[in-house]
A and B are shown apart, each in its own frame.
Chain A
């Protein structure tokens, strides 16, 4: 159980079983595009929390680009005409600012849902679910293109968006929501296939300075710190992605010192079986 400060909530992304040293050596096969999808996703999660790895990958990708350049062969002239003609009737993707990212998350895109006052009611949840299912399709489109970009440009936020999109678009993604003991609602999207879940909250009570909400995964072997929630804005928190989800886990939310706790020190305000 690692102790984390609030700004380091993304550390949760790197909680992967193989040792860090072993993951680090995947930078080579990653840059050579020699990883199967599963290992590739694991490495991207690792690199999301490891600036040195992300930096190394950038340099190695520039290197493999030189290998590509060294293989250059002019294509037949006909290809140019076909490509240009096809492009002329192919729609382009909008810039990424309007694509993948926090704005895509429906709870943030709909502040009205929270300003209604009081804990969210079932109608809101239905709206959120609808917005989310629309989001699935949109995220799937954005993800295809974003994947092209993120492959060679691993910034933390991009890798986080990447992972978020992976959870949202997983074929087994399931959404649940639950009311919290002190008021407020948590919406959870989880994918056992991706071993990850995304959590977003609305109507959360404000906390005194020095306190923060911490998310836990509870399994048969005990609890694991999963992520620190960002400080709520108008009771809402932007989505947090936690990895390391296992079958039979429950998710819990507690109030902890802002630096995070190695194990829960207060009664859970939320407990959901996944």
Chain B
């Protein structure tokens, strides 16, 4: 789990850099696209026509990402379940509007999930609950035997590519994406200028994209 090496909280070091460094270009062959992508497009198409069996299959494929990401941002398993449920129902409702030539289903679902999670975080009430939770270790989870080998490999690839970034690039990306912070907050947490934060985020994502062999 990423969280073992890295944290999305300020004041703690992100240690992935120690093991990265040479990941660039190394992962293209390992497969840039997420497995099952094509199937997922076809399934979403059926979901858009009200096919509940297809929706069940979509759930199997994307629910771990949705729940994991939301939990990562919210750091509260109970709230994460609520929000993950909202996200999955968004997918059900809006499936007919997914357009495959504009992006992958994974990107579509991740965007919805991250928006929902961050909306929850940025509402004041949830922020209080989250702060309470922050005292405890985030539920990083050991998925153990249940975890697919595929997922493990993907996690490892992403971790290595994150490790290949500069420290500021990595910290700003992790704080924003997994921490759910705005770029202004990230600038404050890292004590760097706004403009620097923006460019670090962009440069870092571009490097990450190239390292992961993302084609879009």
Residues of A within 8 A of B (CB): 22, 25-29, 31-36, 55-56, 58-76, 79-80, 82-84, 86-88, 90-96, 99, 145-146, 148-149, 151-153, 155
Interface centre among A59, A62, A76, A155 (most CB of B within 10 A): A62
Mind listing 14 A-B residue pairs with CB under 8 Å?
Answer: A28-B203, A33-B111, A33-B177, A34-B186, A65-B104, A70-B155, A73-B68, A74-B64, A79-B63, A83-B88, A86-B89, A87-B92, A92-B94, A93-B93
Interface of chain B residues 51 through 73 with chain A (CB within 8 A)? 52, 55-56, 59, 63-69, 71-72
**Is there a chain A Cβ closer than 8 Å to B41's Cβ?**
no
User: In the complex, what residue of chain A is closest to B101 when comparing beta carbons?
Assistant: A153
CB <8 Å contact, B102 and A99: no
Interface membership of B99, Cβ < 8 A: yes
Interface of B is mostly: helix
Which residue from B85, B182, B214 sits with its C-beta under 8 Å from A66? B214
Is B208 touching A63 in the complex (CB atoms < 8 A)? yes
Q: Closest B residue to A86 by CB, please name it.
A: B89
Contact of B110 among A68, A76, A84 (CB under 8 A): A68
Q: Which 8 residue pairs spanning A and B have beta carbons closest together?
A: A28-B202, A28-B201, A153-B102, A73-B68, A75-B67, A70-B158, A68-B110, A34-B176
In the bound complex, what is the Cα–Cα distance between A22 and B104 (angstroms)?
28
Contacts of A35 in B (CB 8 A): 182-183
Answer whether A75 and B81 are a contact pair too, CB < 8 Å, given A35-B182, A88-B52.
yes
For A26, A56, A70, A96, the residue with the greatest tally of chain B CB atoms inside 10 Å of its CB is A70
Q: Which of B73-88 contact A (CB under 8 A)?
A: 81, 84-85, 88
Q: How far is the CA of A67 from the CA of B106 in the complex (A)?
A: 11
Residues in B with CB closer than 8 Å to A149 are 94, 97-99, 102, 108
What distance in Å separates the Cβ of A85 from its nearest Cβ neighbour in chain B? Answer: 10
B214:A62 contact, CB within 8 angstroms: yes
- Inter-chain contacts of A152 with B (CB < 8 A): 102-103, 107-108, 111
Q: How far is the CB of B160 from chain A (nearest CB, A)?
A: 11
| Minimum CB distance partner of A54 in chain B | B102
Contact in complex: B81, A76 (CB < 8 Å): yes
**Interface residue? B48 (CB, 8 A):** yes
Interface string of B100-118 (1 = CB under 8 A from A): 0011101111111111001
Known A-B contacts: A32-B173, A69-B154, A145-B94. Give 14 more (CB < 8 A).
A33-B114, A33-B115, A62-B215, A64-B107, A68-B110, A72-B151, A74-B146, A79-B84, A80-B59, A83-B63, A88-B52, A96-B99, A149-B94, A153-B108
Interface pair B34/A69, CB less than 8 Å apart: yes
Which residues from chain A contact B9 at a C-beta distance below 8 Å? none
